[in-house]
A = this chain, B = another copy of it.
Amino acid sequence: MRYWSFRDGFGLENLVACEGEAPQPGPDEVLLELSMASLNYRDLVVMRGQHGKAVTTPLIPLSDGVGTVIETGSAVRDFSVGDRVSPAFFQHWDGGAPPQNLESGRLGGPLDGVLTSHGVFPARALVRVPEYLTDAEAATLPCAGVTAWSALSEPAPVRPGETVLILGTGGVALLAISLAKAAGARVIVTTSSAERAAQVKKLGADLAIDRNEVPNWSKMVREVTGGAGCDRVVELGGAATLMESVKAAKTGGTIIVVGNVTGNTAEVFLPLLLTRRLTLHSVSVGSRQAFVALNRALDHHRIRPVVDTVFLFDQAPDAFRALERGGGFGNVCISCAQETGR
């Protein structure tokens, strides 16, 4: 098998193309031939070596991917050779309460990830992906897709007629727009340009607010909700946006804390939280059951995740650089297929 590995440390300079023998599945395991992988912001944090001491090298990066079953262990009943599946981001969280060692079961660090031609995964941590999706679209689901689903499901699900504010136009945000519309919500998105505004409206957003033109966008959100504020904020910004998100939320509203791209240490003004009885609920991905529910919703609505670029397997480092540079619209993918390695 062919795979990329942070072999002797992190940083792109340590990301090395390797070859080796494909592992054998145990009785409850499945051998996948990966066809596509997809990058998340988290993968940049890992690449930079900033993910904490539990994530060490050597490491095959990336958590999001899709592949085909090419061998099943003796006790596997739920999957057959030829099934197209994705491994769940958390390999050990089926449903219900998250396990206490949640961090230890993540693909792409500390567990080896999917930037590989082949990989072995426990059958119980695999999920069938909708047929109508391309490999690149399907590859975005395990982390980015499930996060978008969880952000609209927890602690209570979005209802028709509610107003959902989604920050930005990253991969999670774009799928959240489609999913929130499928759930019947009114969707407001903060964007950075008129071009982005047009794109998110094409995805279904009811209103796009250019945050460069309207830096205090919470005010506009309150205005267009008759002064009430929005029911839910999908807070993908982080330190730089959290207070504005808090201001945008209605009494009893929910801020779904997903991202920290604009900084790790956020200030929160407690009296506002208290007076409005707000809930800050953090979401990082979700369980295998959430993944299954996401897929069912996608399938029924024929929703397609947005893919910006697909890099060839050999160009994997370029994919990291592209995501780091930013400015794209949609997910950055890497093909894991054999033929791309020519």
Residues of A within 8 A of B (CB): 26-28, 75, 94-100, 102-103, 122, 153, 155-157, 159-162, 179, 182-184, 186, 227-228, 238-239, 242, 250-252, 257-258, 260, 263-271, 273-284, 287, 289, 293, 296-301
- The closest CB in chain B to the CB of A289 belongs to B96
Cβ–Cβ < 8 Å partners of A280 in chain B: 273, 279-281
- The closest CB in chain B to the CB of A235 belongs to B270
- Copy number in the complex reads 4
Task: Evaluate contact between B277 and A269: CB separation under 8 angstroms.
Answer: no
Cβ contacts A to B, 24 pairs, < 8 Å: A26-B28, A94-B96, A95-B95, A97-B252, A98-B252, A98-B277, A102-B251, A157-B159, A160-B182, A160-B301, A161-B298, A186-B300, A238-B270, A257-B273, A260-B271, A265-B268, A265-B269, A265-B270, A266-B270, A270-B282, A276-B282, A277-B282, A277-B284, A279-B279
A96-B94, A98-B252, A273-B282 known; A160 vs B186 contact (CB < 8 Å): no
A250–B300 Cα distance when bound, in Å, is 18
- The closest CB in chain B to the CB of A294 belongs to B161
Task: Evaluate contact between A274 and B258: CB separation under 8 angstroms.
Answer: yes
Known: A28-B28, A182-B184. 16 other contacts (CB 8 A): A26-B26, A27-B27, A27-B28, A95-B95, A95-B96, A98-B252, A100-B227, A102-B252, A103-B275, A160-B183, A258-B274, A260-B270, A265-B267, A274-B283, A277-B284, A280-B280
- The closest CB in chain B to the CB of A239 belongs to B270
Task: Evaluate contact between B271 and A268: CB separation under 8 angstroms.
Answer: no
A94-B94, A94-B96, A258-B274 known; A279 vs B160 contact (CB < 8 Å): no
A157–B270 Cα distance when bound, in Å, is 23
A269–B282 Cα distance when bound, in Å, is 12
Cβ–Cβ < 8 Å partners of A277 in chain B: 98, 102, 282-284
A183–B266 Cα distance when bound, in Å, is 34
Q: How near does chain B come to A30, taking the closest CB pair, in angstroms?
A: 14
Q: How near does chain B come to A100, taking the closest CB pair, in angstroms?
A: 5
A96-B96, A184-B184, A251-B98 known; A274 vs B279 contact (CB < 8 Å): no
Task: Evaluate contact between A100 and B160: CB separation under 8 angstroms.
Answer: no
- The closest CB in chain B to the CB of A26 belongs to B27
Task: Evaluate contact between B297 and A160: CB separation under 8 angstroms.
Answer: yes
